[in-house]
């Protein structure tokens, strides 16, 4: 019963499809970008002062590259052939009227790129990995340098090699690569954060099920946010984000799982590219991780394979020093205990022991402690000797997931004790997501909770 003077507002039941499509169009990459939120992600743009490049068949160090003769290139031009390297020299000047703004270098090209600043690698760039901008400044200050020179080292291959027509195929030796975008841009961080809120709510509304209460709440909240948000007036964004915060702040019951997510970059030491390219893939990936850690204090990252650490130490000592610093903080976490992520079927016992011997020795010398878990996500089988070998090498836990790709029968457990031939036992975990490359989307997180094969609520690794 309403109190004196209180007016009860009727609950308005929204038409589900209409509400969904309204929210989808509000953040669409295709439709209405001239007036929706997605279209406000970037603001003013500015051309580069100059852009030049040179091409080489060798993977040369920075010190040698900057001494070469560069020639002009423009957006739309093609460069390189498969396995070649193109170095781009970028001279830029940030407009002074952008003071107080977050400014990015927007770079879209085929191939895998690495940004160099002041003779140090600072971030990887790859269109396939949806990493196409480098933050020049979070908030441009008057006293901050407005003109600078950067270099972008581009490997003429894709994220998964250079196969002709498909991923696992012989390389296409005549493939040419193109530069689609190279410019300075104002990045609207407040629009980006609001956009992420919308994306999560929309996925919740679409994927949790039409009859699910959280799905209904998410859709109602997203529709309400569209009502509140004027994309031309950023002062309306905080109120819309508060609506999202109220949904995200709701607590699950004690019977629900706690899901832990940590960064990981699975890099095959030898697969669809030369060994030398693996070294650069490690640098591109790990320097991006370090940059994320500098901006996100709660971010942790696990990384295996002593051989790859050794490569980075030898070829990128400045980056390696930062990795060691973050490792001391417990944020860049060496795992695995082996020299590489080796095959688990063909090698004999002595070969496997030497993997652990060399790997654990490296981690002890470089990071001051042994690994306590064996990290082997991508092998297609497991020797029954493994538990005994692990226990003998100081390892008590094991993580893998490749059995989930089995086409014949489903492995029945996610977390269990694995007992070897001699009775040695280790705690084993198969991530319920059945993958080692998730992005943390709503669908993936929901599947993790649904697929966990246990009668008890627990702590799951995403």
**Cα 160 from Cα 158, distance rounded (Å):** 5
pLDDT at 1: 43
The model's pTM is: 0.92
**Cα 297 from Cα 295, distance rounded (Å):** 6
Active-site residue identified among 378, 422, 434, 447: 378
The pLDDT of residue 93 is above 80: yes
pLDDT at 292: 96
pLDDT at 210: 87
Strand (E) positions, 17-117? 42-46, 50-56, 71-72, 78-79, 85-93, 102-109, 112-117
19 burial type by CB count under 10 A (0-12 exposed, 13-18 middle, 19+ buried):
middle
pLDDT mean over 167-182: 92
Residue 422 annotated among the catalytic residues of the structure = no
Q: Could you tell me the two tokens for 382?
A: 């497991």
pLDDT mean over 173-188: 96
Stated as kind and residue range, the H or E segment containing 133 is strand 133-137
Q: Kindly indicate the confidence band of residue 2, based on its pLDDT and cuts at 50, 70 and 90.
A: very low
Q: Could you tell me the two tokens for 117?
A: 């600043």
């Amino acid at each position: 019963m309403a109190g004196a003077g209180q007016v009860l507002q009727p609950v308005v039941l929204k038409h589900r499809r209409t509400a969904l499509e309204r929210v989808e169009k509000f953040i669409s990459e295709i439709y209405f970008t001239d007036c929706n939120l997605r279209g406000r992600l970037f603001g003013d743009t500015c051309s580069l002062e100059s852009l030049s490049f040179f091409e080489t068949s060798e993977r040369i160090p920075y010190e040698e590259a900057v001494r070469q003769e560069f020639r002009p290139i423009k957006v739309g031009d093609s460069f390189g052939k498969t396995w070649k390297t193109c170095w781009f020299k970028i001279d830029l000047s940030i407009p002074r009227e952008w003071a107080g703004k977050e400014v990015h270098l927007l770079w879209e090209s085929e191939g895998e790129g690495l940004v160099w600043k002041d003779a140090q690698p600072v971030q990887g760039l790859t269109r396939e990995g949806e990493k196409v901008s480098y933050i020049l400044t979070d908030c441009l200050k008057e006293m901050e340098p407005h003109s600078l020179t950067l270099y972008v080292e581009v490997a003429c291959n894709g994220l998964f090699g250079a196969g002709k027509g498909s991923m696992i195929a012989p390389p296409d030796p005549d493939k040419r690569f193109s530069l689609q975008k190279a410019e300075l841009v104002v990045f609207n961080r407040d629009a980006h954060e609001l956009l992420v809120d919308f994306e999560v709510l929309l996925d919740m509304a679409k994927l949790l099920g039409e009859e699910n209460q959280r799905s209904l709440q998410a859709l109602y909240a997203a529709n309400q946010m569209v009502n509140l948000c004027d994309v031309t007036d950023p002062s309306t964004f905080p109120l819309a984000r508060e609506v999202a915060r109220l949904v995200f702040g709701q607590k699950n019951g004690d019977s629900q799982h706690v899901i832990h997510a940590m960064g990981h970059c699975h890099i095959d030491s030898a697969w669809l590219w030369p060994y030398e390219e693996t070294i650069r893939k490690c640098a591109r990936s790990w320097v991006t991780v370090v940059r994320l850690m500098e901006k996100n204090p709660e971010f942790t990252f696990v990384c295996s394979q002593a051989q790859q650490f050794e490569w980075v130490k030898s070829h990128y000592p400045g980056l390696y020093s930062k990795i060691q610093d973050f490792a001391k903080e417990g944020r860049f976490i060496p795992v695995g205990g082996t020299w590489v992520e080796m095959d688990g079927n063909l090698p004999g016992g002595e070969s496997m022991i030497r993997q652990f011997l060399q790997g654990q020795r490296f981690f002890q010398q470089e990071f001051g402690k042994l690994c306590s878990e064996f990290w082997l996500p991508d092998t297609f089988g497991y020797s029954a000797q493994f538990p005994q070998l692990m226990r003998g090498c100081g390892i008590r836990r094991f993580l893998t997931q490749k059995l989930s790709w089995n086409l014949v029968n489903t492995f029945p457990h996610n977390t269990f004790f694995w007992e070897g031939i001699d009775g040695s036992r280790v705690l084993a975990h198969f991530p319920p997501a059945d993958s080692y490359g998730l992005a943390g989307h709503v669908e993936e997180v929901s599947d993790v909770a649904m697929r966990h094969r246990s009668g008890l609520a627990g702590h799951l690794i995403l």
